Amino acid sequence: MIPSRLLPATLAALALAAQPLPAAAQQRCLTAEEVGASALYAVPALVRGARIACGATLAGDGFLMREGDALAARYTAHQDGAWPAAKAALLKIVAERAGTGGATTGTGGTGAGTGTGAGAANPLAGLALLPALPDEHVRPLVDTLIAQETAARLRPAQCPAAERVLAALAPIEPPAAATLLAALVALMPADRAPLLCPADPS
């Protein structure tokens, strides 16, 4: 089982926000391909963030410190192919947040909506200009955001479980692992699930 804060950290960093999609914004929902691509893209920065959070907690000869670079490199090799779908997911969520006021205090300045105050940290705040930026500038920003969000959300007590998850992913080919992670996200309860498109009943 993925630790309760590890997978949400990855998804939040990629703006896969854990709340139901309003009916009016169904056109912005995330496809399974986009969720899988986001997970595939995120792993190298996720490893980096986990090391920041867990460096003082885990053994120096444990999987994360011993094999983390090799695991990250395997996923890095797939990032160029995963980026277009991962970026599409990110653009959808940035647009959704801009439309609902979830990324700021809203047009009325009252903080209504999701209740994020003016001083609340918001991982999407730096991405408002994303559609206008070239990929060579966007990708380092997203990579840094993933690592920072992971490091901030992963508690020391959760580090051993996070290391076990990464070790379990290591033997699986990255595209297959991304498909598995997307399937796990789809099984999350509705009040915690990302903004997934409705499953095709057929």
Q: What is the mean pLDDT of the chain?
A: 75
The larger pLDDT score, comparing residue 187 to residue 153, is at 153
Please give the single-letter amino acid code of residue 116: T
Instruction: Round to whole Å and give the CA distance between 190 and 35.
Output: 16
Chain Cα centroid distance, residue 84: 15
- Angle between the 174-186 and 63-100 helix axes, to the nearest 10 degrees? 50
In this model, does residue 11 exceed pLDDT 90? no
Instruction: Round to whole Å and give the CA distance between 99 and 116.
Output: 15
pTM of the predicted protein model: 0.72
Share of the chain above pLDDT 70, in %: 63
Domain boundaries, the chain: 6-19+27-98+125-186
